[in-house]
Structure 1
Amino acid sequence: MAHAKKFSQIPMSKCMRDLCKEEDYTFLNSLEKPDESPEESTCVESECQEKQEERIRRQQEREQLDREKQREIEEQQKEKDKQWKSHVAELAVQRKAIRAKLDRLREFRDFQKKVVLQDLGLDPGSANESVKHLLMRL
């Protein structure tokens, strides 16, 4: 089996190496048995063909599983995107509500300042430290 040593230096996948070994053994066996009848050679060929069909079937099953996994991953990604978009929309609504509340608080603060200044009889435009201090305490 000098060819095995020679071919072992060639880099290839394990699956491909197994496939090559099967073909090599089939070929070498057919060379060693020249006295085979045509029926035996067709039997060997049919076995090889069956093995090839089995490999093709397994490969198609793997490809089908890979497609299904890929589809599931895509569906999960779409679901995550949908959840993220709804979360962002919810945050935007919350942000608007907080800004509206802030605006109402500022309006109330201005109104409160105006009332205090009127009660004290001061000019609304004056910046008195005691008024600021009083509003801070409120």
Structure 2
Amino acid sequence: MTHLKQFQGIPMSKSMRGLCREEDYAFLGISERTREEKTEGAAALEDDWRDKKEERVRRQLEREQQEKSRLREIEASKKEKEEQWRTHVAELTSSQEKTLQDRLTRLHRFREFQRKVLEEESGKEGAASGQTDN
């Protein structure tokens, strides 16, 4: 009689139910087992799908983190190169200023030397002309 309770949901007439015995319902049990297996298979597929989705999300997050770290490294490299360039430019400017200052100093000395020479020559000429006047 348990088969009556088990298979009550199957649409059939009362007379047909009386004629059928439990063995007649065996094929329904098989289909029920396959339905359970399909449900279990679907659950396994769903679990696999979730696992794959989680794996894809995890890999995507890893790629994003790698991209962020790569961008940070690039930015740090750019800052370092810019700082090196600024230092290089400052050194060049400093050396050029020193070179110009040295040139200016040499030019002043040369001009002083020229004035002394001109004064001496004009002094000799003035003395020579003064001697001829006397």
Following superposition, the deviation at residue 53 of structure 1 comes to 0.8
Runs of 4+ displaced beyond 4 Å: 33-36
Task: Return the alpha-carbon distance in structure 1 between the equivalents of residues 54 and 115 of structure 2.
Answer: 91
1:66 is matched with 67
SS of the equivalent of 1:37 reads helix
2:85 is matched with 84
User: What CA deviation, in whole Å up to 9, does each residue of 1:30-54 have, x standing for no partner?
Assistant: xxx9885322211111111111111
Q: 1:115 is aligned with what amino acid?
A: K
Task: Return the alpha-carbon distance in structure 2 between the equivalents of residues 45 and 69 of structure 1.
Answer: 35
- Map 1:1-138 to 2 at 5 A: 37-121=38-122
Normalized against structure 1, the TM-score is what?
0.59
Task: Return the alpha-carbon distance in structure 1 between the equivalents of residues 100 and 35 of structure 2.
Answer: 93
Q: 1:48 is aligned with what amino acid?
A: W
Q: In structure 1, list runs of 5 or more residues that go unmatched.
A: 1-32, 123-138
Task: Return the alpha-carbon distance in structure 2 between the equivalents of residues 34 and 88 of structure 1.
Answer: 79
Normalized against structure 2, the TM-score is what?
0.61
SS of the equivalent of 1:59 reads helix
Count of residue pairs brought into register by the alignment:
91
SS of the equivalent of 1:69 reads helix
Higher helix share: 2
Q: In structure 2, list runs of 5 or more residues that go unmatched.
A: 1-33, 124-134
Task: Return the alpha-carbon distance in structure 2 between the equivalents of residues 44 and 91 of structure 1.
Answer: 69
User: What CA deviation, in whole Å up to 9, does each residue of 1:3-52 have, x standing for no partner?
Assistant: xxxxxxxxxxxxxxxxxxxxxxxxxxxxxx98853222111111111111
Return the index of the structure with the highest Cα Rg: 2
Task: Return the alpha-carbon distance in structure 1 between the equivalents of residues 61 and 97 of structure 2.
Answer: 54
Percent of matched pairs sharing the same residue: 33
Relative contact order: is structure 1 or structure 2 higher (C-alpha 8 Å, sep ≥ 6)? 2
